Structure 1
Amino acid sequence: MLFIIFQLCSVYLCGIGAEEFNLFGDAGLAYAIEVSIGHPHQKLHVLVDTGSTTLAIASYPRQDSNKYFHADNSSSINDSGKEVHATYSQGMWVGRLVSDFINFPSLTTIPEVRSDIALITKSHKFFMNGSGWQGLLGLAYLPVGATGENVIVESWLESLDRTLNRPMSFELKLCAAQSATNATHYGSFQILDDFNTINENRNKTFRTPILRKRWYEVGVISIRVMSNVNNSDVTSDKYNIDTDMCQTLNKEKSIVDSGTTNIRLPNIYFRKIVDELRSAAQNSSTLILDEFWYHGEVACWPEPQEWSLPWLAIDLLNYDQDNQYFTLELPPQNYMRVVAARNSSAESGAVSEFCYKLGLEAGSTETVLGYTAMEGFQVLFNRSASWIGWQSSNCGPNARVTGPYNISTSLRSLCQLVNPEPDVAVSIKAAQWVLCVISIIAAGFLIYLLTPCVKMFLTRRLRNSPQISLSQAALVEQESA
């Protein structure tokens, strides 16, 4: 299905602007991009995921898809022979660690780089039925990457930074569905130089700090239903921060995750917000069953819906001052997600059907801003400077950013937010030092065991010394095979 969408792009969407859109997906399946792997190139589609780190690719046929990476057909692959695995909020996989060349055809200014890849050999509830993608492009930081015994799995972004010898940022512009009669969504993924993004569009971009470099953890001050969308109901002199909400939203973690569909909230605040939305729908004489609001059920109508429901506001900690926040204002088109749009012809006798799901869900104690909260914005992830920039987009829902707004105290203190951690490179270096120490200890132990043999060789004549080198070389070859 996704292949067909990409083909349509070449004759329809991509004609709008030269390669403006390189992300596509069916409703509920996030956004995927085309990637070329290995030599000769094998073209697949990977989900663009800020909630994970590792580039993970299917390497076996599945019940719902026979499209996967054929490792034996790549002349450039390097197989470590080591097993790696990862567990997500939904699903898990096990695979083996390899490296190969990665190229994104739509990113014409980005060179092909050799990168670590986890070739998935088995999985559970990871590949959704009918999904048009064959893996994940993880864009988060190293600490949440795939794991294995004595293994550090480098991400594609880390490989790119190392190849270019400078840090790179990326931007996601998620545009949601093309129209009210088409559930396919589209967007743009671009790689940018960190140096050029620091002062780019400063007058239009609102920045929130990345509090912890694992996932993209941010400070969510509140999530609420707006009472007035014409003139923002948020002003510094009349809006009081709900300390309990602020602390609860960030107690476990609050992350920006393009690989998650909905806005996920702690249970108590999910119920509070949905109760308000349900009440507003009833007051507007829109009949929607409780199963839609509270249990994730689909609601369908014979015609596309023009929603007159309230807007949602998401307040985020401001990067420049910790007594400031700004607000993402989301129209109902963001959270009333289109999941099916079938406009059948009258001759067939079929009935047109336009179906929606609520873009909010309960998440126990965590807060996740899924792509539902990102549609209608250009979201810039500056990894090295530790901030995420938000500005209104020229596509998708009519979402907007307002602020900044001041309060009289520190939001970091009030909401008990963590301070930004050192650059992830420190973690990488620490891991490298640990592996180095382990290697030194192992080498020392090996020398101790081989001391009698060394003494015996030293008593032989010098002409026998090449045999030692040949023996060591054979040992290396055997271990790498």
Structure 2
Amino acid sequence: MRVPRLLLYSWTLLALLPVPCSGAVLLRVPLRQGPLSQTAGPRGPSSSSRTRRGASAVNFVNMIDNLRGKSGQGYYIEMAVGSPPQKLNILVDTGSSNFAVGAAAHPFLHRYYHRSLSSSYRDLGRSVYVPYTQGRWEGELGTDLLSIPHGPNVSLRANIAAITQSDRFFINGSNWEGILGLAYAEIARPDETLEPFFDSLLRQTSVPDVFSLQLCGVGFTQNYSAGSSTVGGSMVIGGIDPSLYVGELWYTPIRREWYYEVIIVRIEVNGQDLNMDCKEYNYDKSIVDSGTTNLRLPRKVFQAAVKAIEAASSTEQFPSGFWLGEQLVCWQVGTTPWHIFPVISLYLMSENRNQSFRISILPQQYLRPVEDVASAQEDCYKFAVSQSSTGTVMGAVIMEGFYVVFDREHKRIGFAVSTCHAYSQISLSHTQLWLAFICEWLHVNLCISKHF
């Protein structure tokens, strides 16, 4: 194993929003066609959290493989903006609510949105400013006609933030020129009166209130090498495609419609419970966020998890900088000792609130491959679990093992084993857990708790 010096570049950006209860600031981390019908949506609520596979009346084949990206830099989809259509690659982000695109020349953009060339653009006469802990962007609000070439066969008018100035927002070589926020209006900028893209889609079309993501990371392919950083996947808008998962879908409730907030009731490393009060896992929230690269954990939880992972993988020595995400570790191509690293298990509250279900996270997910410019003979990795000051964030490295359904109509998120992985150890299972209800009660009353 070799430990090279890591050239740090932050592609996971943190936006500022108000935190309920505490009054402090919230830091957020940002990393094909056919008509749809109502029958494409998810089945109605069931008495359990499971949904068995079934035939769909709608063919989603043209939406398969409509996502592209690079490891650690996010997944993007092609969108057409304006009249005549301008094709742009847009980052898919379930952790924000603005549709924003580059609208001025930038060293990292090969193309950008030209408002003056769109006959359908309408200026709203409002500006928007979005600060991050490491960077910012600002722009002007308007509306324009949008469509997704490899998505539902519809066109709609939606709000768009034309980014005119930015600092450390766009990523050199990422190949995306904007961001598609898919969360709820409560966290839209400049305020919740700005209707998000998906809300506009629902209001103007008959597309069902659901979308699903299959993110296929570079670690989930046959003949895998860390030197290949290209990733792909599928975003199905308006339904669920059974061809993208195996087994059953397990659902967890959306606790609050701002971010896609869920409740974690237990975390295990190598089969051993971290044995922490469940409110520690969810303070101040737990969210599912495709726009974040890492699994981010609150400080106390992160420290406990790293200690457990270090103990389980003690047959090799790792520098402290590796666990902090500041250094890479490398092995000769094809010799990565996956077997020494433990499985991380997250237990999510199920729809039946006296139960939970477990999602198992493999080292092939939480060790993120990074291209090593020094040598083509090594596979190098960055530890993709990091510390958070704003709760747990289940980012892309978690989602890459699963097919994730954002069933907004029934206020739930579904997980199933993805068909794009190459590892049979990935699993979903359920357990009776009466503490799940207690954990929810504690989480709801978190704001009056004095002990964090």
TM-score bucket (shorter structure) = 0.7 to 0.9
CA displacement at 1:59 relative to structure 2: 0.5
- Separation in 1 of the partners of 2:238 and 2:426? 23
> Structure 1 residues 334 and 201, CA, compared in 2 at 3 Å: closer, same or farther?
closer
- Separation in 1 of the partners of 2:268 and 2:441? 16
Q: Which runs of 5+ in 2 are unaligned?
A: 1-31, 33-60, 446-452
- Separation in 2 of the partners of 1:41 and 1:85? 26
Which of the residues 217, 242, 255 maps onto 1:211? Answer: 255
Question: Which residue is 2:10 aligned to?
Answer: none
What per-residue deviation string (whole Å, max 9, x for no partner) do you get for residues 55-74 of structure 1? 10010111222421111111
Superposition map of 1:338-377 within 5 A: 338-340=369-371, 351-377=376-402
Normalised to the residue count of structure 1, the TM-score between the two structures is 0.73
- Separation in 2 of the partners of 1:353 and 1:157? 42
Question: Which residue is 2:232 aligned to?
Answer: 186
Question: Which residue is 2:354 aligned to?
Answer: 323
CA displacement at 1:163 relative to structure 2: 1.1
- Separation in 2 of the partners of 1:397 and 1:33? 24
Percent identity, aligned pairs only, is 35
Letter in 2 for 1:394: T
CA displacement at 1:80 relative to structure 2: 1.2
Matched, 1:116 2:191: no
Superposition map of 1:213-292 within 5 A: 213-227=257-271, 242=275, 244=277, 246-283=278-315, 286-292=316-322
> Structure 1 residues 310 and 412, CA, compared in 2 at 3 Å: closer, same or farther?
same
- Separation in 1 of the partners of 2:261 and 2:415? 15
Superposition map of 1:49-448 within 5 A: 49-88=93-132, 90-107=134-151, 109-147=152-190, 152-165=193-206, 167-177=208-218, 178=221, 179-180=224-225, 181-193=227-239, 204-227=248-271, 242=275, 244=277, 246-283=278-315, 286-304=316-334, 305-308=336-339, 309-319=341-351, 321-340=352-371, 351-396=376-421, 398=423, 400-413=426-439, 416-418=442-444
> Structure 1 residues 176 and 210, CA, compared in 2 at 3 Å: closer, same or farther?
same
- Separation in 2 of the partners of 1:408 and 1:289? 40
Contact 1:83 1:95 in 2 (8 A): yes
CA displacement at 1:127 relative to structure 2: 1.5
Contact 1:249 1:365 in 2 (8 A): no
- Separation in 2 of the partners of 1:323 and 1:37? 46
- Separation in 2 of the partners of 1:57 and 1:311? 38
CA displacement at 1:243 relative to structure 2: 5.3
> Structure 1 residues 90 and 52, CA, compared in 2 at 3 Å: closer, same or farther?
farther
- Separation in 1 of the partners of 2:246 and 2:110? 46
CA displacement at 1:281 relative to structure 2: 2.1
CA displacement at 1:167 relative to structure 2: 4.1
> Structure 1 residues 192 and 414, CA, compared in 2 at 3 Å: closer, same or farther?
closer
Structure showing the higher helix proportion among its residues: 1
User: Relative CO higher for 1 or 2, CA cutoff 8 Å, sep ≥ 6?
Assistant: 2
Range moving further from structure 2, 353-362 or 299-308: 299-308
CA displacement at 1:33 relative to structure 2: 0.9
> Structure 1 residues 315 and 415, CA, compared in 2 at 3 Å: closer, same or farther?
farther
Contact 2:265 2:439 in 1 (8 A): no
Q: How many residue pairs align between the two structures?
A: 376
Letter in 2 for 1:183: S
Give the secondary-structure state (helix, strand or coil) at the position aligned to 2:313.
helix
What per-residue deviation string (whole Å, max 9, x for no partner) do you get for residues 88-146 of structure 1? 56533211111111111111x33011111011111232213333111100000000111
- Separation in 1 of the partners of 2:440 and 2:80? 47
Give the secondary-structure state (helix, strand or coil) at the position aligned to 2:229.
strand
- Separation in 2 of the partners of 1:37 and 1:24? 19
Give the secondary-structure state (helix, strand or coil) at the position aligned to 1:411.
helix
- Provide the aligned C-alpha RMSD in A: 2.7
Give the secondary-structure state (helix, strand or coil) at the position aligned to 1:120.
strand
> Structure 1 residues 154 and 414, CA, compared in 2 at 3 Å: closer, same or farther?
closer
Give the secondary-structure state (helix, strand or coil) at the position aligned to 1:416.
helix
Give the secondary-structure state (helix, strand or coil) at the position aligned to 2:397.
helix
> Structure 1 residues 415 and 273, CA, compared in 2 at 3 Å: closer, same or farther?
farther
Structure showing the higher strand proportion among its residues: 2
Normalised to the residue count of structure 2, the TM-score between the two structures is 0.77
Give the secondary-structure state (helix, strand or coil) at the position aligned to 2:323.
helix
Letter in 1 for 2:230: T
- Separation in 1 of the partners of 2:210 and 2:142? 25
Question: Which residue is 1:467 aligned to?
Answer: none
Question: Which residue is 1:424 aligned to?
Answer: none
Letter in 2 for 1:303: V
> Structure 1 residues 364 and 213, CA, compared in 2 at 3 Å: closer, same or farther?
same
Letter in 2 for 1:276: A
Letter in 2 for 1:336: L
Range moving further from structure 2, 290-299 or 53-62: 290-299
Give the secondary-structure state (helix, strand or coil) at the position aligned to 1:98.
strand
CA displacement at 1:359 relative to structure 2: 1.0
- Separation in 1 of the partners of 2:368 and 2:87? 30
CA displacement at 1:18 relative to structure 2: 5.9
- Give the greater-gyration-radius structure (CA): 1
> Structure 1 residues 365 and 118, CA, compared in 2 at 3 Å: closer, same or farther?
closer
Q: Which runs of 5+ in 1 are unaligned?
A: 1-8, 10-16, 228-232, 234-238, 345-349, 420-481
- Separation in 2 of the partners of 1:167 and 1:351? 46
Letter in 2 for 1:31: Y
